[in-house]
């Protein structure tokens, strides 16, 4: 095992008919997942444009707000797409 390896978790997305990334993320945080993650990833598939159903800037702000409730300054990583 590599002790310097980063654990990246969650990968909430606004696609699949969802208008928010928050509910999925909330469940993971409530289960204690953020206690084991170095960063939170997200997939902005439906958020490429500001006119999208769940635009990237809105999704990122929501993810930051939700993670801050459990732990401040969690890095966010866009791990797929745009």
Give the pLDDT of the chain (82 residues) as one tens digit per residue.
Answer: 899 999 999 888 766 656 667 888 899 999 999 999 999 998 877 666 667 777 778 888 989 999 999 999 999 998 887 6
Query: What does the alpha-carbon distance between residue 55 and residue 74 come to, in Å, rounded to a whole number?
Result: 21
pLDDT of 24: 84
Helices vs strands, H then E, count in the chain: 2, 3
pLDDT of 14: 65
pLDDT of 48: 64
pLDDT of 69: 94
Q: Is 37 helix (H, G, I), strand (E, B) or coil?
A: coil
pTM for this model (two decimals) = 0.81
């Amino acid at each position: 095992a590599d002790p310097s390896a980063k654990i990246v978790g969650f990968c909430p997305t606004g696609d699949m008919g969802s208008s928010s990334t928050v509910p999925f993320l909330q469940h993971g945080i409530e289960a204690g997942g953020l206690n084991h993650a170095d960063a939170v990833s997200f997939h902005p598939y439906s958020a490429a444009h500001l006119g999208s159903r769940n635009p990237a800037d809105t999704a990122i702000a929501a993810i930051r707000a939700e993670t801050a409730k459990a732990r401040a300054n969690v890095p966010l990583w866009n791990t797929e797409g745009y």
